Chain A
Amino acid sequence: MYNEKSSYEKVKAARSNDRPMGGFYIRNMIDDFIELHGDRRFGDDGAIVSGVGYLDGIPVTVIAMERGDSIEERMRRNFGCPSPEGYRKALRLMKQAEKFSRPIICFIGSSGANCGIDAEKRGQGEAIAENLVEMMGIKAPIVSVVVGEGGSGGALALGVCDTAIMLEDAVYSVISPEGCASILWKDSAKAPEAADALKLTAGDLYNFGIVEYVIEEKDRTAEEICSALKKCIKKEIAKKQALTIDELLDGRYNKFRKIGNCE
């Protein structure tokens, strides 16, 4: 099922400049998308694109990390690294989705949360923490898809969900392989070894039971991948919509509760 790339080749593929990010999936999967801006607290984070639209006729809320294409756009979107106001915008729209009983789709692809003085001043840690705790209680189905690099806490802040999906070449890790190698072995050139050791590929996470589905990429165009992904999301949303709210929230709790259960 999985292609022959090494872990670090997958990391590079996940980061690749021409790999489609959240915006691509919105354009190709969501009809009549209307972008909704701002966190109502501080500002509007370009690294998170969010709004409402239809998934084959079903109204949905979509929250996506986006790094942009041109250099100007990338600067504006901070290379896809969300700031606290991005996570707060995401939470605002999730609560709105809850109010209108709309399923939520999150697209994850970022090297991590914005790392900077201003982000710390505005509570980067608190913003992520708030999403983790609040998403556990959002009374609407949440499907999260890792489409690129799932970089640590900044990715997980959109990753508390009922169903987790990864694209075959996406990665999801507690730390970047470079960061891991430089901390442990004082040598970021050992990133390929760290990538192997971290077990961060879609196949690894599927085997761990942390993601429920892996969408194959090999020999498929981006549009074909998108269409396979859409089918998977639709099926999952339908399944989750059939549940009572208690069943939905218990399922979400237990999905994470069982990870790393100890004797």
Chain B
Amino acid sequence: MSSVKEVLGNLGLLDYFAEKRTCKKCGAELPYPAFRNNNMVCPSCGAYQRMNAEERISLVVDKDTFIETNANMESKNIIGFPEYSAKLKKAKKDSSLKEAVVCGTGEIGGQKCALFIMDSSFMMGSMGTVVGEKITRLFEMATENNLPVVGFTTSGGARMQEGIYSLMQMAKVSGAVHRHSESGNLYIAVLTDPTTGGITASFAMQGDITIAEPKALIGFAGQRVIEQTTGEKLPKGFQRAEFMLEHGFVDIIEERKRLKYTLTRLLELHSR
């Protein structure tokens, strides 16, 4: 009889089970599958861990239906910003991604849609020209094909290493969102931890329906900047999903285990 270790080894899954993860809230150190099989929610304390694009896709998109678009688009050091080329190289290596957003089409509960999934493991999900371009193309494709867009945001904001080009991506994507909206198609924005700065000030807040994950940080100005600028103490729960719901900027706070179900119902209700 072979040991569990041998079986896993033969299946190429040894690393998967050997990899440990530490809960960012309670510090519990558990094997990766313990998190993965629990929707990346800590089995010990229930804290939501940030999901990467692959984990997010497997959470909400029907198995084997996701087809990635513009997968090979890569950023260049467009304004010759110091150290940016090296940072990009490192981000690619560390995240195994080419940029901070994955776009494509897929089905959610059998409903075909266009999807963008931001990934904070690539330079904090910041938006430069490639992120802006990929999301713009996705909305344009969705407009052309009359598809709803479901987008997952997580980002520190615009990417300063691309200067004014990054800022202008906010307007560029907004144009594509506008056309998609004018064509009568649905856009559901799902705000995940953290969604801040220029992303909040553009497509994160332009959905027909805005869903947030529990306790996700959602805001425009950074907390430290607000404290330093105003000298005021931030109220408890400031800029969290629950705070945003209370102040009228989020439609629904949905738990991960119910997210796919809720998205499916909303997509079905809007199917045309």
Contact = CB atoms under 8 A, between A and B. Distances in A.
Interface string B218-246: 11110001100110101100110000000
A224 interface: no
Contacts of A160: 171, 174
Which DSSP category, helix, strand, loop or mixed, fits chain B's interface?
helix
B160 A184 contact: yes
A101 interface: no
A153 B171 CA distance: 10
A221 interface: no
Interface string A140-166: 000000000000110011011000000
B226 to A, nearest CB: 6
A261 interface: yes
Given A129-B203, A183-B160, A260 B169 contact: yes
Nearest to A174: B167
Contacts of B172: 256-257, 259-260
B198 interface: yes
B133 A262 contact: yes
Nearest to B83: A184
A200 interface: yes
A8 interface: no
Interface in B63-120: 73, 78-79, 81-83
B146 interface: no
A197 interface: yes
B168 A210 contact: yes
A260 B175 CA distance: 14
A200 to B, nearest CB: 7
A259 B202 contact: no
Contact of A117 (B136, B218, B232): B232
Interface stretch (A13-21, A25-33, A119-127): A119-127
A59 B88 CA distance: 49
Interface residues of A, number: 52
B265 interface: no
A173 B160 CA distance: 9
Which of under 10, 10 to 19, 20 to 34, or 35 or more describes the interface residues of B? 35 or more
B158 A174 contact: yes
A123 B73 contact: no
B73 A263 contact: yes
A205 interface: yes
B206 interface: yes
Contact of B226 (A115, A130, A180): A115
Interface stretch (B22-30, B41-49, B177-185, B256-264): B177-185
Given A124-B220, A262-B73, A180 B160 contact: yes
Given A129-B203, A259-B169, A153 B198 contact: yes
Contacts of B129: 259-262
Given A115-B221, A116-B229, A123-B249, A128 B171 contact: no
B230 A117 contact: yes
Interface string B168-200: 111110111111011000000000000001101
A172 interface: yes
Which of A133, A159, A199, A257: most chain B Cβ within 10 A?
A133
Contacts of B171: 132, 136, 156, 159-160, 256, 259
Interface string B108-141: 0000000000000000000011101100100000
B39 interface: no
Contact of B160 (A120, A157, A175): A175
Nearest to B130: A262
Given A116-B226, A174-B163, A198-B163, A124 B133 contact: no
Given A123-B249, A124-B221, A156 B170 contact: yes
A174 B164 contact: yes
B232 to A, nearest CB: 6
B160 A174 contact: yes
A260 B168 contact: yes
Contact of A260 (B78, B82, B202, B230): B78
Interface in A94-138: 113, 115-117, 119-126, 128-130, 132-134, 136-137
B77 to A, nearest CB: 11
B201 A200 contact: no
Given A122-B247, A128-B201, A261-B133, A199 B234 contact: no
Contacts of B83: 184
B40 interface: no
Contact of A174 (B166, B200, B218, B249): B166
Interface of A: 113, 115-117, 119-126, 128-130, 132-134, 136-137, 152-153, 156-157, 159-160, 172-175, 179-180, 183-184, 193, 197-200, 204-205, 208, 210, 252-253, 256-257, 259-263
6 residue pairs, one from A and one from B, having the closest CB atoms: A260-B129, A125-B200, A125-B220, A129-B205, A132-B174, A128-B201
